[in-house]
């Protein structure tokens, strides 16, 4: 095993952490990562073996194609995402099981690769449709993109190996087929762009970066054949990437494409393209993003809605879209150093990504709505769930992109926790553990972070080792942290949202304490978000809170709750308590719910309404839930 701490080799302003540079010591993210290690990785493997998705590779290898093929046309990508997760897992921990499993999967995948590098179990073999015969829906290049990302995880942890060689051959085949002299096509689902750009960067192979650039420039020219009920915007094929002002269409598609565009912009010095993605981020965050950081307002196309179309009940907020949003924000942060990108990542980490897995790591939310009207039926633990609906975590889905996407994200969470800009280290996400960060050639900065964040606001940072050269530290102060304080050996001071920096270079033994105000607070939506007019939400630190009907004396009362915003929320355990009223609402079957006078509930009783962190909802059983609470 090579050094775990091979840094991300990005030519932007910053680099992120190698997954081995930060050892988590329990806490919020340590706990989630432990469940991923203990359960989710094996869970994904077992489901994909059971359903025959992995055996699809064996059938191609043995020439036994053309019969019934289990899984959707994009099921290969789930194996690649699991392989990426295993690569990070081994790179981070050195766990033998992860390495052996990855090696075994690599052998099975390798055996299915055609001589010219083409690799897909659904197309191009006896009894199958031709290669690239359905670019709109075939997902071949999408699958390849995930293969390349898995290889990059390997390159960043152990270096060249068989998986990297498979990826190189696959990437070469893509470059030949779709290069300057090849076919003028793009894939209906972006992902090849970010995969090629990452691989090009990791292998210092400009042909891959160039091919990624080519796919990005080709997009938005209406070349994809339409699919029933879905228009060109669904594929982001309606407008060239550099001309669009906001994200639209299928959210995961839009965000994977944007991630690839940032990589290409950075690696080719294309400021115009970078600015375009920054503009799209700005507009989409302002008008098309949920309080949780979730993106995607529509079920029909798993897509963005229009500006201000943010219904809490039918919020889609696909787990994968949260992951993809963080892929974009992370790249924009690395490219620009602007703190707001890391702010949105924190919001999305705690309130979308952390919300998806059950505590045991064996069932998942696909959609993450902010309002569940009625308690959903339980899901059987042995059944594939056809519904990408909220309300109940399911062990596996018919389209099961989220579990493996979570697995790779949780296995590499450390990569996003800090960045290094020359002689500056930026702490972005707070979690207890030990950091040992390479600074320049051979020198290291070692820090110990101790915190109960997000439930408590104190973050203690001790400098265990400092390099010879002067190294500075900057700490992210979240945008909501009004009243934060920074204490060092030389005194304490108030610090505003943005960056807080001890003035002197770090020296061994120094202790820095950042205190973030995590008292619960009311948060009000913009008046233009029609769906939550007259409502308020409660947040606590980076956590969005919610009310669950199972905490109410009468579950039906969740329909008539009214919060009194004149009384500040009070902290309780990891949630909060607000003053509210609830009433028995009249039922009048046959009478339309519209009348000549404003309708108010009668006989409201006051209530101490307990709220819990949103990411924990439906962990205690099926329940109705709401984040936005109407006010009295």
Distance CA 265, CA 274 (A): 5
Closest CB 544 distance from its own copies, rounded Å: 9
Strand-strand pairing, 472-477 and 424-427: parallel
By beta-carbon proximity to its own copies, the closer residue of 195 and 542 is 542
For 577-588, b/e burial (b = at least 16 CB within 10 A) is: bbbbbbbeeeee
CB atoms within 10 A of CB 283: 15
Instruction: Give the shortest CB-226-to-its own copies separation in angstroms.
Output: 6
For 174, the token pair is: 């893509």
Comparing C-alpha atoms, which of 312, 309, 351, 294 is closest to residue 630? 312
Which residue carries 């950075």 as its tokens? 266
> Between residues 311 and 433, which has the closer beta carbon with respect to its own copies?
311
Residue with Cβ nearer its own copies (243 or 441): 243
Residue with tokens 């004396």: 553
User: Can you tell me the distance from the alpha carbon of 60 to that of 124, in angstroms, rounded to the nearest whole number?
Assistant: 10
Write down the least CB distance from residue 408 to its own copies, Å.
Answer: 25
Least separation in angstroms between residue 310's CB and its own copies is: 8
Q: Are 133 and 66 spatial neighbours (Cβ–Cβ below 8 Å)? A: no
Rounded to the nearest whole angstrom, what is the least distance from the CB of residue 309 to its own copies in the complex? 6
Residue with tokens 């060092």: 488
Q: How many CB atoms lie within 10 A of CB 609?
A: 24
Nearer to its own copies, 185 or 565 (CB): 565
- Least distance in angstroms from the C-beta of 528 to its own copies: 5
Indicate the residue among 97 and 601 with the shorter CB distance to its own copies: 601
Min dist. Cβ of residue 113 to its own copies (A): 30
Query: Shortest gap between Cβ of 509 and its own copies (angstroms)?
Result: 38
CB of 329 to its own copies, least distance (A): 11
Q: How far is the CB of 591 from its own copies (least distance, A)?
A: 6
Nearer to its own copies, 46 or 526 (CB): 526
Q: Is 527 exposed, middle or buried (0-12, 13-18, 19+ CB in 10 A)?
A: exposed
Please say which residue, 192 or 339, places its beta carbon nearer to its own copies. Answer: 339
Dist CA 145 CA 200 (whole Å): 12
| Distance separating alpha carbons of residues 22 and 16, to the nearest angstrom | 11
Q: Which is nearer to its own copies, 504 or 527 (CB)?
A: 527
Closer residue to its own copies, CB minimum distance, 306 or 360? 306
List C-alpha distances in Å: 574 to 102, 237, 558.
Answer: 38, 44, 21
Q: How far is the CB of 283 from its own copies (least distance, A)?
A: 5
Say how far apart CA 84 and CA 74 lie, in whole Å: 16
The residue (of 221 and 387) whose beta carbon lies closer to its own copies is 387
Cβ-contact 477, 500 below 8 angstroms? yes
Nearest to 429 by CA among 409, 443, 449: 449
* 126 vs 591, beta carbon nearer its own copies: 591
Q: Is the peptide bond before 489 cis (omega within 30 degrees of 0)?
A: no
- Non-local CB neighbours of 315 within 8 Å, separated by 6+ positions: 290, 294, 296, 297, 367, 368, 369, 370, 371, 390
Looking at the Cβ atoms of 115 and 594, the one nearer to its own copies is 594
Of 448 and 479, which has the nearer Cβ to its own copies? 479
54 phi and psi, to 5 degrees? -75, -35
> What CA–CA distance (Å, rounded) separates 345 from 496?
19
User: CB 553: neighbour CB atoms within 10 A?
Assistant: 8
How far, in Å, CA of 194 to CA of 187, rounded? 12
Q: How far is the CB of 484 from its own copies (least distance, A)?
A: 14
CB of 81 vs its own copies, minimal distance in Å: 21
What is the distance, to the nearest Å, from the Cα of residue 32 to the centroid of all Cα atoms in its chain? 14
């Amino acid at each position: 095993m090579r050094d775990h701490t091979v840094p991300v080799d990005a030519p932007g302003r910053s680099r992120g952490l190698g997954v081995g540079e930060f050892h988590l010591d329990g806490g919020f993210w340590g706990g989630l990562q432990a469940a991923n290690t203990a359960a989710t990785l094996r869970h994904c493997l077992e489901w994909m073996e059971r359903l025959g998705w992995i055996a699809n590779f064996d059938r191609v290898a043995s020439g036994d194609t053309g019969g019934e093929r289990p899984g959707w046309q994009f099921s290969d990508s789930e194996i690649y995402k699991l392989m990426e997760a295993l690569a990070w897992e081994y790179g981070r921990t050195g766990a033998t099981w992860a390495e052996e499993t990855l090696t075994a999967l690599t052998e099975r995948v390798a055996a299915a690769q055609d001589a010219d590098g083409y690799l897909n179990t659904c197309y191009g073999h006896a009894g199958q449709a031709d290669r690239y015969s359905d670019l709109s829906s075939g997902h071949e290049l999408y699958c390849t993109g995930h293969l390349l990302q898995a290889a990059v995880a390997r390159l960043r942890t152990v270096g060249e190996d068989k998986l990297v060689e498979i990826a190189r051959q696959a990437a070469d085949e893509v470059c030949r087929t779709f290069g300057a002299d090849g076919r003028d096509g793009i894939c209906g689902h972006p992902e090849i762009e970010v995969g090629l750009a990452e691989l090009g960067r990791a292998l210092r192979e400009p042909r891959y970066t160039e091919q990624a650039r080519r796919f990005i420039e080709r997009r938005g020219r209406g070349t994809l054949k339409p699919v029933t009920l879905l228009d060109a915007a669904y594929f982001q094929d309606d407008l060239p990437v550099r001309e669009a002002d906001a994200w639209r269409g299928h959210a995961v598609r839009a965000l994977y494409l944007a991630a690839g565009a940032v990589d290409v912009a950075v690696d080719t010095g294309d400021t115009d393209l970078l600015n375009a993605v920054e503009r799209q981020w700005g507009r989409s965050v302002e008008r098309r993003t949920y309080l949780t950081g979730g993106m995607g307002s529509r079920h029909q196309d798993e897509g963005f809605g229009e500006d201000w179309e943010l219904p809490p009940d039918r919020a889609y907020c696909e787990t994968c879209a949260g992951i993809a949003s963080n892929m974009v924000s992370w790249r924009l942060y690395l490219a620009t150093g602007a703190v707001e990108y890391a702010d949105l990542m924190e919001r999305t980490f705690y309130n979308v990504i952390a919300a998806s897995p059950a505590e045991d790591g064996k069932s998942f939310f696909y959609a993450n709505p902010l309002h569940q009207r009625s308690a959903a039926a339980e899901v059987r633990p042995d059944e594939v769930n056809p519904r990408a609906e909220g309300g109940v975590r399911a062990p596996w889905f018919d389209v099961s992109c989220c579990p493996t996407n979570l697995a790779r994200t949780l296995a590499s969470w450390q990569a996003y926790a800090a960045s290094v800009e020359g002689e500056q280290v930026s702490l972005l996400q707070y979690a207890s553990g030990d950091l040992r960060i390479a600074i320049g050639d051979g020198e290291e900065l070692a820090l110990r972070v101790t915190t109960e964040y997000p439930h408590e606001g104190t973050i203690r940072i001790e400098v265990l080792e400092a390099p010879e050269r002067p190294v500075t530290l900057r700490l992210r102060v979240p945008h909501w942290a009004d009243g934060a304080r920074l204490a060092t050996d030389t005194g304490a001071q108030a610090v505003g949202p943005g960056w807080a920096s001890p003035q002197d270079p770090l020296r061994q033994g120094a202790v820095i304490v950042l205190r973030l105000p995590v008292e619960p607070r009311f948060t009000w939506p913009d008046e233009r978000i029609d769906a939550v007019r007259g409502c308020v939400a409660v947040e606590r630190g980076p956590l969005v809170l919610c009310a669950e009907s199972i905490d109410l004396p009468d579950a039906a009362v969740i329909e008539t709750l009214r919060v009194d915003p004149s009384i500040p929320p009070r902290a309780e355990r990891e949630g909060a308590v607000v003053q509210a009223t609830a009433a028995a609402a009249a039922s009048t079957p046959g009478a339309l719910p519209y009348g000549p006078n404003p309708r108010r509930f009668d006989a409201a009783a006051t209530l101490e309404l307990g709220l819990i962190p949103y990411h924990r909802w439906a962990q205690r059983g099926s329940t109705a839930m709401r984040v936005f609470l109407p006010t009295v």
